[in-house]
A and B are shown apart, each in its own frame.
Chain A
Amino acid sequence: GAGVSQTPSNKVTEKGKYVELRCDPISGHTALYWYRQSLGQGPEFLIYFQGTGAADDSGLPNDRFFAVRPEGSVSTLKIQRTERGDSAVYLCASSRGTPDGYTFGSGTRLTVV
């Protein structure tokens, strides 16, 4: 597609539930990134995919968070047993893998109640 698409745009879930957030990157972009942004803060790195593999998952806060990119295109960020502290905007970005700028999606605003 023309841009990075993230769905849903908003998600409200109850504490303890499981959620999946989807990212559809720009066609042909091999690198895909997930970031999390809390109110008043800059985005914080979660995980980076180069192709199908997670090249760097050092930003995932704990084992409740997991992400996949099985065919090297669409990626899903999965959060188990959600906690109120997981509430944030989850941003996905893709790039050609060069030092050029990323293209970000509009994000998914997750609210855990």
Chain B
Amino acid sequence: SQQGEEDPQALSIQEGENATMNCSYKTSINNLQWYRQNSGRGLVHLILIRSNEREKHSGRLRVTLDTSKKSSSLLITASRAADTASYFCATDAGGNNRLAFGKGNQVVVIP
């Protein structure tokens, strides 16, 4: 079953603006990951945040995790047209390092 639920589902922004998307989950996790997908094909791993971490940065990406609220956010700063993609959060709640993905956020960055 799908564990993560992203919100909002679709986001359209101007190049240079920041994009923020949220994800909520239902059960305890060891880590939460964010992936990007272009054109409905392979997913690219962006960042992993462990349950004992609250915030993590990677380049223009900032991820937060609030285990008390069972939610995470992904912030993309100074967006570029190349950031146009679908973004998925995934949790390891399924066990066996198996990931449960949300439905994804479509982000369109307008040049």
Interface residues of A (CB under 8 A from B): 4, 31, 33, 35, 37, 39-45, 48, 50, 55-56, 89, 91, 93, 95, 97-107, 109
With A106-B42, A107-B42 given, name 15 new contacts (CB 8 A): A39-B40, A42-B90, A42-B102, A43-B43, A44-B2, A45-B99, A55-B96, A89-B41, A93-B43, A100-B48, A101-B45, A101-B48, A102-B45, A103-B45, A106-B41
Q: Once A and B bind, how many residue pairs between them come within 8 Å at the CB atom?
A: 71
Q: Are A99 and B31 in contact (CB under 8 A)?
A: yes
Mask for B28-64, Cβ within 8 A of A = 1, else 0?
0011010100001111110010100000000000000
Instruction: Name the A residues within 8 Å of B48 (CB-CB).
Output: 99-101
Q: How far is the CA of A105 from the CA of B2 in the complex (A)?
A: 21
Residue of B nearest to A3 (CB): B42
A-B contact pairs, 9 of them (CB 8 A): A41-B2, A45-B98, A56-B96, A99-B48, A102-B99, A103-B45, A104-B42, A104-B43, A107-B42
Number of contacting residues on B, CB 8 A?
A: 28
B101 within 8 A of A: yes
Q: Are B40 and A101 in contact (CB under 8 A)?
A: no
Interface residues of B (CB under 8 A from A): 2, 4, 30-31, 33, 35, 40-45, 48, 50, 88, 90, 92, 94-104
Q: Are A99 and B97 in contact (CB under 8 A)?
A: yes
Instruction: Name the A residues within 8 Å of B102 (CB-CB).
Output: 42
Q: How far is the CA of A100 from the CA of B47 in the complex (A)?
A: 9
Q: How far is the CA of A14 from the CA of B94 in the complex (A)?
A: 34
Q: Are B96 and A48 in contact (CB under 8 A)?
A: yes
Q: Are A105 and B42 in contact (CB under 8 A)?
A: yes
Q: Are A42 and B2 in contact (CB under 8 A)?
A: yes
Q: How far is the CA of A40 from the CA of B98 in the complex (A)?
A: 21
Q: How far is the CA of A62 from the CA of B67 in the complex (A)?
A: 35
Given contacts A99-B30, A101-B33, contact A45 B94 (CB under 8 A): yes
Residue of B nearest to A97 (CB): B97
State how many angstroms separate the Cβ of A21 from the closest Cβ of chain B: 14
